[in-house]
A and B are shown apart, each in its own frame.
Chain A
Amino acid sequence: MSDLQTLSAQLIDLARKAGAHSADALSVADVSDAIRVRHGVVESVEHEDSRGIGLRAFVEKKEDGKHGLAFASASTSDISAAGLKRLVEQVMVMARISEADPDAMPPVGAVHPDARQMTEWQKHHPCPDSAWSIEAARDAALACESAALGYSDKISNSEGAESGFGSMSVAYASSDGFAAAYDKTSASLSVSVIAGKNDAMQRDYAWDRQLSSTTLRKPQDIGREAAERTVKRLGAGGLNSGSMPVVFEPRVATSLLGHLSSAVNGRAVLQQRSFLGDSLEQSIFPEFISIADDPDHPDGLGNRLFDGEGSRCSRLQLIDQGRLTAFLTDRYAAGRLKTTPGGHARRGLTGDIGIGSSNLVMQAGPLSRQEMLHEIGNGLLVCELIGFGINGVTGDYSRGASGFLIENGEITRPVQEITIAGNLRDMFRGIRHVGSDLTWFGSVAVPSMAIDGITVAGQA
Chain B
Amino acid sequence: MLAIRDVVGGYEDIQVLRGVSLDVRGGEIVGLLGPNGHGKSTLLKAIAGVHPATGGSIRFMDEEIIKAPPHRIVEAGIAYIPEERHLFSDMTVLENLQLGAYSRTARPEFRRNLELVFDVFPRLKERQRQVCMTMSGGESRMVAIARGLMSGARMLLIDEPSIGLAPSMKKAVYGAILRINQDAGITVLLVEQEIDYALRLTSRIYMMKRGAVQFERPSGEASVDELKEAYF
The answer to whether A and B assemble together is no
* Interfacial residues, chain A to chain B (CB-CB below 8 A): none
* Interfacial residues, chain B to chain A (CB-CB below 8 A): none
